[in-house]
């Protein structure tokens, strides 16, 4: 089942992991093929509250793939009206089969706010892991993936290496109890360390930006306060001038 999926062509020039919904829908079509457009293309208008709920989308996808919805995923999706609300998914110690796993990947595509994915002890082999990497390497928000205790080896590990090298948002990848060779694991760890460093550097840049914004806001506040104080002083001077003018006029009238 996954042979045709994994064979889908890739493009040399890939979009940046941060993509809008239209670009993300294009990725879905590229990965899964046109036959899944109706189900997998992004169609929830979250700004107006339209479209099917997260649960309805998952159930519809399972019906299209002719597989049974996973109860653990259903429980998670019931608490999220929009797929964008899903921040973590766990399928730990669940075997859903190849079609069930493809349904999961479809929902991962929909959940563009997903940050954590736990697939420990799911009996995933290299073809499934390769398919997962095709989706996650361009996911706009994923940070942590747990694949502890699965069945993949070198082919899946190479796909994981490419994934973490491309998607620099991913800084946690748990691979305990898998047949991953030491050399590939070392390269994966190196890529993860680089991603963590990049994330920390970006965090520092953001902190500096926020500090500069606060400083600019404070300078603006002080400037506004100074302008207001100057305006009040000018007003008081004008009031005093007018009062003196009136007193002078009154004195002149009295003298006349």
Stretch 7-36: mean pLDDT = 44
Q: What is the mean pLDDT of the chain?
A: 82
Domain total for the chain? 1
Q: List the Cα angle 38/43/46 in 5-degree steps.
A: 160
Give me the CATH number covering residue 100.
3.80.10
How many CB atoms within 10 Å of residue 230? 10
In a domain, 60, yes or no: yes
| Structural domain includes residue 252 | no
Sequence-separated (6 or more) residues with CB below 8 Å from residue 230: none
What is the structure's pLDDT at 24?
A: 46
Q: Which two tokens stand for residue 142?
A: 């994923």
Residues 109 and 74: their CA atoms lie apart, in Å, by 16
Whether 23 maps to a domain, the answer reads yes
Contacts of residue 249, Cβ cutoff 8 Å, sequence gap at least 6? none
- 41-93 pLDDT, tens digit per residue, is 433 333 233 457 899 989 988 988 889 999 999 999 998 989 999 999 999 99
Whether 197 is in a domain gets the answer: no
How far is the C-alpha of 247 from the C-alpha of 224, rounded, in Å? 34
In a domain, 191, yes or no: no
Evaluate whether residue 241 is within a structural domain. no
pLDDT in tens, 149-175: 998 988 899 999 999 999 999 999 999
- Section 35-41 average pLDDT: 44
CA-CA distance, 145 to 147, in Å (whole number)? 6
| 46 Cβ contact partners less than 8 Å away, ≥ 6 residues apart | 82, 84
pLDDT class of 230 with cuts at 50, 70, 90: very high
Q: Is residue 196 part of a domain?
A: no
How many other C-beta atoms are found inside a 10 Å radius of the C-beta of residue 147?
25
Residues 211, 114, 174, CA angle at the centre, nearest 5°?
Answer: 95
28/214: higher pLDDT: 214
162 Cβ partners below 8 Å, 6+ apart? 133, 137
Q: Which domain holds residue 91?
A: 2-6+15-180
Does 50 map to a domain? yes
User: pTM, whole model, 2 decimals?
Assistant: 0.68
DSSP-assigned beta bridge partners for residue 172: 144
């Amino acid at each position: 089942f996954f042979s045709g999926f994994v064979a889908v062509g890739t493009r040399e020039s890939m979009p940046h992991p941060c993509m809008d919904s239209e670009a993300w829908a294009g990725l879905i079509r590229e990965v899964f093929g046109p036959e899944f457009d109706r189900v997998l293309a992004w169609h929830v208008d979250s700004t107006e509250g339209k479209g099917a709920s997260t649960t309805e989308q998952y159930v519809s996808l399972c019906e299209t793939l002719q597989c049974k919805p996973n109860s653990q995923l259903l429980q998670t999706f019931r608490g999220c009206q929009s797929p964008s609300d899903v921040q973590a998914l766990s399928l730990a110690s669940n075997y859903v089969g190849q079609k069930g796993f493809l349904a999961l990947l479809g929902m991962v595509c929909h959940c563009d706010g997903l940050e954590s994915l736990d697939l420990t002890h799911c009996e995933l082999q290299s073809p499934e892991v390769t398919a997962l990497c095709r989706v996650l390497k361009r996911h706009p928000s994923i940070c942590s993936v747990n694949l502890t205790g699965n069945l993949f080896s070198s082919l899946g590990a190479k796909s994981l290496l490419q994934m973490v090298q491309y998607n620099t948002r991913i800084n946690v990848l748990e691979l305990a109890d898998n047949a991953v060779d030491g050399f590939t694991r070392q390269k994966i760890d190196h890529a993860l360390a680089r991603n963590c460093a990049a994330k920390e550097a970006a965090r520092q840049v953001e902190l500096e930006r926020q500090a500069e914004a606060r400083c600019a806001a404070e300078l603006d506040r002080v400037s506004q306060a100074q302008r207001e104080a100057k305006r009040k002083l000018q007003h008081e001077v004008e009031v005093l001038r007018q009062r003196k003018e009136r007193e002078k006029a009154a004195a002149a009238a009295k003298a006349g």
